[in-house]
Amino acid sequence: DGGITQSPKYLFRKEGQNVTLSCEQNLNHDAMYWYRQDPGQGLRLIYYSQIVNDFQKGDIAEGYSVSREKKESFPLTVTSAQKNPTAFYLCASSRGSSGNTIYFGEGSWLTVV
Amino acid sequence: AQSVSQHNHHVILSEAASLELGCNYSYGGTVNLFWYVQYPGQHLQLLLKYFSGDPLVKGIKGFEAEFIKSKFSFNLRKPSVQWSDTAEYFCAVNGPEDFGNEKLTFGTGTRLTIIP
């Protein structure tokens, strides 16, 4: 089955703890992305990576970190510095040059209590 | 900074009604335009896209959208909606600031509820 796999689907954490969301793709895509979805705010870009070992901040990168050590993997860490981490997180990927479609995973719900 | 506006936050229609959802973006130059749909409990999926050529593009499930460059708009339409069209719809743009990559700027979304 080809696609983008995010895990876990649901995650609860205590305030002050870091948490890492996993994203794996087997589409052989070069580019990967993390978006955050909040009600009434649409999707906002956190980080993106166009190639292995390189990534750029998106519009709301503060309080988040990423790594891109392998082409197929792009984990997102939500740190304790993120002021409002409870949200729905979407991972996506695309071929990466220009003019291609972005495909999305099923998302991860993070609740911080 | 580039931005995308979807002015309809929640639209409620009866089955068989016609649908038009608005989408406007804030910048000139070459743009790639997308509509994504998120059905309840499902992941975000592509409905249709415009890169170049005919400004009227057709997508899946009977949806279409028209790119009007002079109005910076890319409105989504469907002549007759079905209950199964109940979902959240997102307009997205890959604009001049994104040259060389495919990252998207999204609108805030429109929740569509179809009443049987």
Q: What is the pLDDT of residues B50-86, one digit of tens each?
A: 998 999 999 999 999 999 999 999 999 999 999 999 9
Read off the amino acid at residue A77: T
- CA dihedral sign of residues A57, A110, A41, B104: positive
Which residue has better confidence, B14 or B3? B14
Measure Cα distances from A39 to A42, B83, B88 in Å: 7, 22, 11
List of residues 6+ apart from A55 with CB closer than 8 A: A47, A48, A49, A66, A67, A68, A74
- Chain B contacts of A50, Cβ < 8 Å? 101
Q: State the Cα–Cα distance between residues A45 and A47, nearest whole angstrom.
A: 6
Q: Are A22 and A78 in contact (CB under 8 A)?
A: no
Look at residue B114 in the predicted model and tell me its pLDDT. Answer: 97
Cβ distance A42 to B108 less than 8 Å, yes or no, reads yes
- pLDDT given at position A2: 65
**How confident is the model over A57-95, as pLDDT tens digits?**
999 999 999 999 999 999 999 998 888 999 999 999 998
Cβ pair B103:A43 closer than 8 A: no
Helix (H, G, I), strand (E, B) or coil at B70: helix
Interface with chain A: mutation pick from B2, B102, B110, highest number of A CBs within 10 Å:
B102
Which residues of A, range 70-109, sit inside 8 Å of B by Cβ?
90, 94-107
Average of per-residue pLDDT values in chain B: 92
Residues of B in contact with A60 (CB under 8 A): none
Q: Check pLDDT > 80 for residue A53.
A: yes
Segment B97-107 mean pLDDT: 81
User: Among residues of chain A, what percentage have pLDDT more than 70?
Assistant: 96
Are A96 and B102 within 8 A, CB to CB? yes
Residue from A46, A98, A106 to probe the interface with B (highest B Cβ count within 10 Å): A98
pLDDT (average), residues A29-48? 93
At A17, list the tokens.
Answer: 């703890």
Average pLDDT over residues B34-42: 93
Per-residue model confidence (pLDDT) at position B74: 97
Shortest CA distance from A95: residue in chain B: B102
Sorting pLDDT into bands at 50, 70 and 90, what band is B101?
confident
Report CB contact under 8 Å: A97, B90: no
pLDDT band at B43 (very low <50, low <70, confident <90, very high): confident
CB-CB under 8 Å, B45 with A107:
no
Tell me: pLDDT of A1 over 60: no
Q: Please indicate whether, in this complex, the C-beta atoms of B101 and A101 are within 8 angstroms of each other.
A: no
